[in-house]
């Protein structure tokens, strides 16, 4: 292996980065299969891009909080390793594109110098934990959810129970019943509550978007704050064991809840508490680093255009619960901004606010803790940066994923049509600059990274085929989504599919009808009265593909003729099913178990050993051409095929052996015994497979 130095003080982080560098080298030498390597790099924030030979790097920024030094560090990294552009995602991350794979370990090491990580930003892991961007300053919040989101992030980062799940797992925190964290569309969502003077959360489970959106169920109406981590640990353990692994389309939490039923799922979660070391985890919000605004005298400034300033204040200032302060919302077109502006913004908030920004779920920026008398000064400074566009979180503030710009799964351009629709709104519907009860969102494919199916008006990238079999870019038009608050939501109906170049006309018809007939209703209320058929009839003629022009075959934002190209999706990693690789992984997991045991982290040691046994059993089942959909399925099939038939003698059933994990507390004695069982099990299955050492085995 090549020597790679990180100069990182944290030995755990340093080992992680060095391991990535070593795995990249093994991949280049053909020692690691491409699919297996994909799984490994995704869990470290390295995501394949539509353009060959470069990577998208996703930077994990819990609940969207970015300190000034961190923003400068991210900017430096983007300049050094990419092209100076930063993209804010709908999960409060920052992505940079066009990065050389071989440079990702040093890029990661640079970020960690300011406590910024890539770890588990992609892949089959617990993704970035999001929260209301106004957490801590929200005038409606019962308390600040930031310390609890932060504790959750730190507890599950690198936690062995969530490193190789069947699919990704998304968590959100909402500051209040307004549910601005969108709990209803998350695998696990927490809404802040106070009952009898006790802080806690309403817990939602099993929500999701994608091709089959599902509204979350209520897992618990209220649990105190010290139960949120054990609750999530139980949920993740059950998801890891029973979640689908073969069919990615059915591998999310929402499908597991649907299959087993909510009551049965709750029973599994509560039974799992036997194996959880900490029955309560107290989170001391008082030790969480609170934002501290600076105290400075307001510089005198001259506002050049008072009318523009007043309009900006009416749409971009956000009330704050702390007296004397407001927050400023910065509308970031399509979530893209550049490092030169980012550095100047970091300097501005460090000197005149609280030294931080928040990234929002709508791909924007919030500056908290701006003294009211500093608002004119901030306006003039932001104006110099081109960051005073009006309409923060208003109808003109359209959310869009990168689509065909960089994403492998993009079918049609989402950024191009978003740009055009914003132009239409500003030019033809100026009243929507200040309207905040209409939400428009766009995704480039059905995976809904742009959250199109929870918008009032949504567009999804598709393609359409003409009678003579020519293919043109298209948009599915969806209507009627809404955040109904307190964990409730409505998902949009698919109404019509139109060629992309007719997207603006579809929007015009929808808005013109709404303006003429809504009579003061919100769009959601109006849609509930009119319904899907009404708008189908209004838009139906736009679906006609017998009369397309040459322009219809050119997507928004490009001059080239449209070609439908869909690559391999990397929204979650695909684990390679090579037998030798699985045995090798089992050894690594036992080594990890031993390290955790030596460090007295017995719960982690036990889970590493459990993962090793499942891995080893999976290897033999695959050798027999058996399907391996879930951990629970692997365990029962192994018993049936190998133990009950007498082919392998374990002394007990495999189920009895492995399911000790959820029947015993994570003590030192049990951890030692369980690791020994994993070692013996690996020896038995390896011997059964071949008495000779397998390639890759030690």
139/261 same-domain check: yes
136/102 same-domain check: no
142/277 same-domain check: yes
> CA-CA distance, 97 to 51, in Å (whole number)?
10
Q: What is the pLDDT of residue 565?
A: 60
Predicted confidence (pLDDT) at residue 168 exceeds the cutoff of 50: yes
Q: What is the pLDDT of residue 583?
A: 84
> CA-CA distance, 296 to 86, in Å (whole number)?
30
Dihedral (C-alpha) 502, 507, 510, 513: value to the nearest 10 degrees?
Answer: -100
Contacts of 601 (CB under 8 A, 6+ apart): none
Q: Closest by alpha carbon to 488, among 213, 232, 179?
A: 179
Contacts of 460 (CB under 8 A, 6+ apart): 442, 443, 444, 445, 446, 448, 452, 453, 475, 476, 478
Domain membership of residue 468 (yes or no) is yes
Q: What average pLDDT does this structure show over 96-121?
A: 96
Q: What is the pLDDT of residue 6?
A: 64
Domain membership of residue 561 (yes or no) is no
Domain span at residue 424?
Answer: 400-553
Q: Closest by alpha carbon to 20, among 1, 50, 48, 41?
A: 41
> CA-CA distance, 695 to 432, in Å (whole number)?
64
Predicted TM-score (pTM) of the model is 0.90
Q: What is the pLDDT of residue 152?
A: 97
349/420 same-domain check: no
pLDDT (tens digit per residue) in 242-267? 999 888 888 999 999 999 999 999 99
Domain membership of residue 470 (yes or no) is yes
Say how many domains are in the chain: 5
Q: What average pLDDT does this structure show over 666-681?
A: 96
In three-state secondary structure terms, 161 is helix
Q: What is the pLDDT of residue 326?
A: 98
226/150 same-domain check: yes
Q: What is the pLDDT of residue 574?
A: 37
Q: What is the pLDDT of residue 624?
A: 86
pLDDT (tens digit per residue) in 49-71? 878 889 999 999 999 999 999 99
Domain membership of residue 391 (yes or no) is no
pLDDT (tens digit per residue) in 418-447? 999 999 999 999 999 998 889 999 998 888
Percent of the chain with pLDDT over 90: 78
281/151 same-domain check: yes
Predicted confidence (pLDDT) at residue 569 exceeds the cutoff of 90: no
- Residue pair 456/480 in contact by the 8 Å Cβ criterion: yes
Top mean pLDDT of 33-37, 291-295, 382-386 is at 382-386
Residue 528 is part of a domain; what is its CATH number?
Answer: 3.30.413.10
Percent of the chain with pLDDT over 70: 96
Predicted confidence (pLDDT) at residue 691 exceeds the cutoff of 80: no
> CA-CA distance, 450 to 483, in Å (whole number)?
15
Q: What average pLDDT does this structure show over 277-303?
A: 91
Q: What is the pLDDT of residue 679?
A: 95
Domain membership of residue 201 (yes or no) is yes
Tokens of 315: 């749409």
Predicted confidence (pLDDT) at residue 479 exceeds the cutoff of 70: yes
> CA-CA distance, 527 to 477, in Å (whole number)?
14
Residue 587 is part of a domain; what is its CATH number?
Answer: 1.20.120.330
Going by pLDDT thresholds of 50, 70 and 90, the confidence category of residue 204 is very high
Q: Closest by alpha carbon to 124, among 652, 649, 689, 571?
A: 571
pLDDT (tens digit per residue) in 76-92? 999 999 999 999 999 99
258/325 same-domain check: no
Q: What is the pLDDT of residue 5?
A: 62
Domain membership of residue 559 (yes or no) is no
Predicted confidence (pLDDT) at residue 692 exceeds the cutoff of 60: no
Neighbours of 270 (CB within 10 A): 12
> CA-CA distance, 189 to 522, in Å (whole number)?
26
Residue 205 bridge partners (DSSP): 188, 217
344/231 same-domain check: no
What phi, psi does 278 have (nearest 5°)?
Answer: -100, 110
Domain membership of residue 292 (yes or no) is no
Predicted confidence (pLDDT) at residue 572 exceeds the cutoff of 60: no
Predicted confidence (pLDDT) at residue 477 exceeds the cutoff of 50: yes
């Amino acid at each position: 292996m090549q020597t790679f130095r990180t100069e990182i003080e944290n030995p755990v982080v340093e080992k992680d980065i060095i391991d990535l560098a070593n795995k990249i080298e093994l991949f280049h030498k053909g020692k690691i299969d491409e699919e297996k390597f994909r799984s490994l790099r995704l869990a470290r924030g390295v995501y394949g891009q539509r353009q060959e030979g470069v990577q998208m790097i996703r930077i994990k920024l819990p609940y969207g909080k970015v300190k000034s030094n961190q923003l400068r560090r991210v900017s430096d990294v983007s300049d050094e390793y990419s092209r100076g552009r930063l993209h804010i995602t709908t999960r409060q991350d920052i992505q940079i594109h066009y990065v050389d794979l071989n440079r990702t370990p040093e890029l990661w090491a640079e970020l960690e110098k300011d406590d910024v990580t890539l770890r588990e930003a992609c892949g089959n892991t617990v993704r970035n934990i999001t929260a209301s961007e106004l957490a801590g300053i929200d005038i409606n919040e019962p308390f600040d959810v930031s310390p609890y989101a932060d504790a959750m992030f730190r507890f599950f980062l690198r936690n062995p129970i969530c490193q190789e799940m069947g699919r990704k797992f998304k968590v959100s925190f909402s500051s209040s019943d307004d549910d601005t964290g969108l709990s209803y569309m998350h695998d696990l969502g927490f809404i802040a509550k106070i009952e009898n003077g006790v802080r806690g959360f309403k817990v939602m489970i099993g929500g999701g978007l994608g091709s089959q959106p599902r509204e979350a169920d209520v897992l618990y109406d209220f649990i105190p704050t010290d139960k949120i981590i054990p609750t999530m640990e139980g949920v993740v353990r059950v998801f890891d064991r029973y979640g689908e692994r073969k069919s990615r389309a059915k591998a999310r939490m929402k499908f597991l809840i649907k299959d087993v039923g909510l009551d049965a799922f709750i029973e599994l979660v509560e039974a799992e508490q036997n194996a959880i070391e900490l029955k309560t985890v107290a989170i001391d919000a008082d030790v969480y680093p609170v934002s501290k605004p600076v105290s400075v005298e307001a510089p005198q400034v001259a506002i050049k255009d008072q009318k523009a300033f007043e309009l900006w204040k009416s749409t971009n200032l956000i009330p704050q619960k702390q007296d004397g302060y407001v927050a400023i919302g910065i509308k970031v077109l399509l979530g893209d901004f550049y490092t030169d502006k980012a550095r100047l913004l970091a300097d501005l908030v460090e000197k005149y606010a609280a030294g931080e920004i928040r990234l929002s779920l709508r791909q924007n920026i919030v500056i908290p803790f701006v003294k009211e008398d500093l608002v004119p000064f901030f306006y003039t400074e932001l104006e110099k940066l081109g960051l005073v566009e009006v309409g923060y979180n208003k109808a003109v503030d359209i959310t869009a994923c990168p689509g065909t710009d960089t994403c492998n799964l993009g079918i049609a351009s989402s950024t191009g049509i978003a740009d055009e629709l914003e132009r239409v709104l500003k030019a033809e519907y100026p009243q929507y600059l200040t309207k905040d009860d209409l939400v428009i969102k766009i995704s480039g494919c059905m995976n809904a990274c742009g959250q199109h199916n929870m918008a009032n008006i949504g567009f999804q990238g598709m393609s359409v085929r003409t009678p003579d079999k020519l293919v043109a870019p298209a948009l599915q038009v969806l209507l009627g989504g809404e955040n109904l608050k307190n964990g409730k939501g409505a998902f949009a109906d698919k109404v019509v599919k139109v060629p992309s170049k007719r997207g603006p006309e579809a929007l015009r018809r929808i808005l013109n009808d709404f303006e003429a007939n809504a009579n003061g209703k919100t769009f959601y209320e109006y849609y509930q009265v009119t319904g899907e058929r009404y708008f189908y009839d209004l838009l139906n003629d736009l679906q006609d593909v017998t009369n397309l022009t040459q322009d219809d075959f050119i997507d928004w934002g490009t001059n080239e003729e449209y070609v439908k190209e869909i690559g391999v999706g990397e929204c979650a990693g695909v684990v390679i099913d090579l037998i030798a690789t699985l045995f090798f992984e089992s050894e690594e997991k036992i080594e990890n178990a031993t390290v955790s045991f030596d460090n007295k982290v017995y719960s982690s040691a036990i889970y590493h050993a459990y993962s090793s046994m499942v891995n080893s059993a999976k290897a033999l089942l695959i050798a027999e051409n058996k399907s391996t959909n879930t951990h629970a399925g692997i365990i029962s099939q192994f018993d049936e095929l190998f133990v009950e038939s007498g082919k392998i003698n374990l002394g007990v059933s495999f189920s009895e052996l492995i399911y000790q994990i959820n029947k015993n507390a994570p003590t030192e004695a049990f951890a030692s015994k369980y690791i020994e069982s994993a070692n013996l099990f690996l020896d038995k299955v390896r011997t059964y497979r071949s008495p000779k050492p397998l390639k890759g085995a030690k």
